[in-house]
Structure 1
Amino acid sequence: MENSVQFVHWLRSVAPYIHAFRGKTFVVAFPGELVMAGALPVLAQDLSLLHALGIRIVIVHGSRPQVAEQLALRNVEGHFHNGIRITDIAGLECSKEAAGELRLDIEAAFSQGLPNTPMAHSAIRIISGNFVTAKPIGIVNGVDFQLTGVARKVAYDTIHTILEAGNLVLLSPLGFSPTGEAFNLTMEDVAVSAATALRADKLIFISETPMMVDQDGDEIRELSFIQAEQELKHSYLPADSAFYLEHAIKASRGGVPRIHIVPYQTDGSALLELFTHDGVGTMVSSENLESLREATIEDVGGIIKLIEPLEADGTLVKRGRELLEREINYFSVIEHDGVIFGCAALYPFPFEKMGEMACLTVNPEVQSQGDGERILKHMEKRARRAGFHSLFVLTTRTAHWFLKRGFVSATVDDLPKDRQQMYNWQRKSLVLIKQL
């Protein structure tokens, strides 16, 4: 029974994401190290699931360790500058061989569908081709990169047609010039160019790097691209992490709304990043995704979903939808990426210059993130703007939380006259007041 309850809770929590992602285009890029680590079959299953949910997937693979392996077999030493391979003729041949092998491995991984499910024999088709036009990097600061190139153009119209037909697209880190030359590209460059050209909704790097941490050792979960630029300037990130972050910033500047850098060491990391509030990686966004604002009529559904469990167990007084719609101007909400995770209402008693804060609720999944305190401070500011001198709450179960934040115990007689008449003596709520 407990597992059934957990499943229902999980399904309800991911449903908004499934609805939001249907029909969207995601570019998912991963390095050759992921394949070397044996993680390709699991990633293929996860991406097949995303495809089954109606998400349009473009895959970009890297090949650095596979190219190094091919070079070692030929006793040829590889050379890099600023993290980018300098590709000579032998290196290009190795890049072609590595890309060919990886393409076959990826196609094979997707051919198995989802084992032991109704999708076990589903036909997931991956289409690859000469979709990336490239040009040579050339000579930079005296360093000749030879046959290493950068993406110049991505055949987005062709790729969109393939995606609309229900297929996946696979891009290798190789590009071709209009004169027929081949160039070795970085996976990150191809991924950013594809995501930008396709106007993708997300670019997801499934990386070999661990979760990024700041100078204090705290995990970096979310950044605007401006904040990401500031972090890069401090030069404390490992080279590989900094390389990913540079390309995330470039994609953000190119119009990609969300870029995720997700360690592949975590099983199901792509799914956890997409379908949980905090994810398991670092997200770079073109804007601040979280907003704490006054509610609108469009928020009624999200508020109802948030408070229903607390109404059911008696923590909150039940409010009908019509009442919520009438009182929506009293509410404020905290939302993250379009999903409401917290709310509260401020009811005015202007004659006594008092306000009642009611219905303070935060999603249980994020209650340790400090959102409740943020909402409280927001409501205090609303109350001060309205000219109130004090804020009061009536609570049956969370008195300790409010007492720790400056509220003091009071009596029903301390409430505004109109509120005294509405006091529910059966609930016997405690009265707490805070001077503003």
Structure 2
Amino acid sequence: MDFVSHFRNSAPYIHAYRGKTSVVWIRDHALTDERLEALVSDLALLNSLGLKLIVLFDVDCFDTELTPKDMIDPARLNQLTEAIGRRRYQLEALFSQGIANSPMHGSKMKIISGNFVMARPAGVFEGKDLQAQGRVRRVDANAIKEQLDKQHLVLIPPLGYSITGDILYLPPEQLVVELAMKTLADKVVIMGNDPMPISQGQKEMNAAQLEKLIAQQPANKLGSLELQVACEVSRAGIARCHVLNGSIDGSLLVELFTRDGVGMLIPRDQYDTFRRANLNDIQGIIALLKPLEEKQILVKRNPEKIEAEINSFVVNERDGMIIGCAAVHSLSKHQAELACVAVHPDYQKNGRGDALLNEVEKQAKQSGIRELYALTTQTEHWFVERGFKSVAVQQLPQDRIALYNVQRNSKVYLKTLS
């Protein structure tokens, strides 16, 4: 039944991704041949679900990793083109698989590669002619989009061609940004080194935060380049950039089709927000409150009551899903009652409740509230641990005392907001 549940929960992402363009950068050194074969199967699955895929690959054929400042002489260029050619043919062969009972059976994908990227020489840097080191001059975005519209996968090597007919090496860390910008990609996925040691386990961060964190790390630390490129992708206006550990089987599917994923997400806009609720949030709030109402932890509220009080609610939205809510009902000019505190079960052990309470208290203080009451029958310890003090029912404002349900016999707690 886990499969059924996971498959159903992936449906919103399948709907959201259909027809969207993603650029996937496959880093050569981070993928064994076995992992590459599995990744190709996963990419074929994404293609079958309607995603438009541009796949950029690089090669690792030297003792040290190439940088955009390295000279590419004829001998090096020959090594590069040979390695890139082998990798390209390997990828095309893997995408052409169709053995019965295999993930690729029946895919019948068309892999398109060609002169989509025009290049120019990088020129002279610090007095050194970089020779076949190139830079992107133009991306034929219309030709790429034409192939994507036919549901073809576009395969891009780290090479470009000049107007003089020369082959130039294009640093993939620059090419991936150009491809995403010129094709107006919705998402970039970098399959490379594990980003988690640098992000210290944090899975979401904006470009500014990530840039600051990277600056504190050694320049050659594994994963630094991938995260630096992710910053550039975000600053280029791409909505989402994911950095994944390419050595983990299935990481691409888990990242794209689950709410929390397994990699690092750098969103252009906020992915996880606290905000005032609106009428579109009613069903999400009801879904959070219902299990607690059934356990009699919360008083049952019908949709009409929630709709009438919607302006009192604060919600925690994560990737389009309401995962937390709380309501603050005004009792007087400086007094209010905290109610309907609920967090989705999947997020109850990672500080969501505390974050939600902090947001509620911040907004309450901005509204002039100095005393925040909470009535509870089963969660008094949670409130005590967060600074609420037990008080008598008679300490409630008179209008609230008149509405107090004696049969429910809720305990009353009060927190003074500084």
Is TM (by shorter chain) over 0.5? yes
Q: Which amino acid aligns with 1:22?
A: R
Question: 1:417-432 counterparts in 2 under 5 A?
Answer: 417-425=398-406, 427-432=408-413
The correspondence for 1:341, drawn from 323, 335, 340, is: 323
Contact 1:27 1:191 in 2 (8 A): yes
Work out whether residues 79 and 86 of structure 1, in 8 Å CA contact, stay in contact via their aligned partners in 2.
Answer: no
Taking the TM superposition and a 5 Å limit, the aligned residue runs for 1:12-23 are: 13-23=9-19
Cross-structure match for 2:342? 361
Query: Structure 1 residues 130, 289: CA separation in 2 closer, same or farther (over 3 Å shift)?
Result: same
Moved over 6 A (4+): 78-81
Give the AA of the match of 1:350. Answer: S
1:196 aligns with 2:181: yes
| Aligned match of 1:72 | none
- Structure 2 counterpart of 1:58: 54
Which residue pairs with 1:291 in the alignment? 273
Q: What residue identity is the alignment partner of 1:201?
A: D
In the other structure, the counterpart of 1:245 is: 227
Q: Which residue of 2 aligns with 1:407?
A: 388
Q: What is the root-mean-square deviation in Å for CA atoms of aligned residues?
A: 2.7
Matched, 1:170 2:160: no
Residue 433, structure 1, aligned to residue 414, structure 2 = yes
Distance 1:321 1:245, change over 3 A: same
Q: What's 2:305 paired with? A: 323
Q: Shift of residue 419 of structure 1?
A: 3.5
Query: Are 1:279 and 2:245 an aligned pair?
Result: no
Inter-CA distance 8–385: structure 2 relative to 1 (3 Å threshold): farther
Match of 1:38 among 34, 47, 51: 34
1:92 to 72, 77, 94: 77
Unaligned runs of 5+ residues in structure 2 are: none
* Gap change, CA 1:9 and 1:80, over 3 Å in 2: closer
Q: 1:127 to 1:345 in 2, by over 3 A?
A: same
Structure 1 residues 419, 289: CA separation in 2 closer, same or farther (over 3 Å shift)? same
Identity %: 40
Query: Displacement, 1:206?
Result: 0.4
- Displacement of 1:111: 2.7
Alignment CA distance shift 1:414-1:49 (3 Å): farther
The aligned length equals 417
AA aligned to 2:156 is L
Look up the match of 2:25: 29
Evaluate the alpha carbon distance shift between residue 149 and residue 289 of structure 1 in structure 2; reply closer, same or farther with a 3 A threshold: same
Per-residue deviation, 1:174: 0.9
| Matched-pair contact (CA < 8 Å) for 2:391–2:412 | yes
Q: Report matched runs for 1:68-217 at 5 Å.
A: 68=62, 82=67, 85-112=70-97, 116=101, 120-213=105-198
Q: How far apart are the structure 2 equivalents of 1:387 and 1:14?
A: 42
Distance 1:389 1:250, change over 3 A: closer
CA distance in structure 2 between the aligned counterparts of 1:17 and 1:258, rounded to whole angstroms: 14
Stretches of structure 1 that go unaligned for 5 or more consecutive residues are 69-77
Question: Matched residue of 2:107: which SS?
Answer: coil
**What SS does structure 2 have at the residue aligned with 1:123?**
coil
